Structure 1
């Protein structure tokens, strides 16, 4: 799924212009990101839950050279599908 896909669905659903649908899709994505930064998660009922998780610093390996590399601690996004979505797919 891409921003263009979301824009097209919004445009078809509401009958608005492509520019307005693109702006609405961008605003929707920005609102989801803002909510995830603020509360650490976001739930779409009947679809699933996105959560922000912290990752620990760890050792990795450069696949080209085989050299050990340190990977810094960071954050990642996890998704858990709702039971309704699992049944539908």
Structure 2
């Protein structure tokens, strides 16, 4: 799924212009990001839950050279689908 896909769905379902649909898609994505930053969790009913998780620093391997590298600690977003989504797919 891409932002263009979301824009097309908004435009076709509401009948607004492409520019307005693009702005609406951007606003929705930004609202989700703000919620993840603020609370660390975002739920779309009947779809699933996005959660922010911390990752620990670890050792990795450069796939080209095979030499060990250090991977810094960071954050990642995980998704867990709802039971409703699982049954519909």
| TM-score between both structures, scaled by the size of structure 2 | 0.99
Question: How many aligned positions are there?
Answer: 89
Shift of 1:73: 0.2
Structure 1 residues without counterparts, runs of 5 or longer: none
Q: Cα offset for 1:60?
A: 0.1
TM-score by length of 1: 0.99
The reply to whether residue 74 of structure 1 matches residue 74 of structure 2 is yes
Paired position in structure 2 for 1:2: 2
Aligned-residue CA RMSD (Å): 0.3
Listed as ranges, the gaps of 5+ residues in structure 2 are none
Q: Render the CA deviation track for 1:42-86: whole Å, top value 9, x for unaligned.
A: 000000000000000000000010000000000000000000000
SS at match of 1:21: helix
Moved over 2 A (4+): none
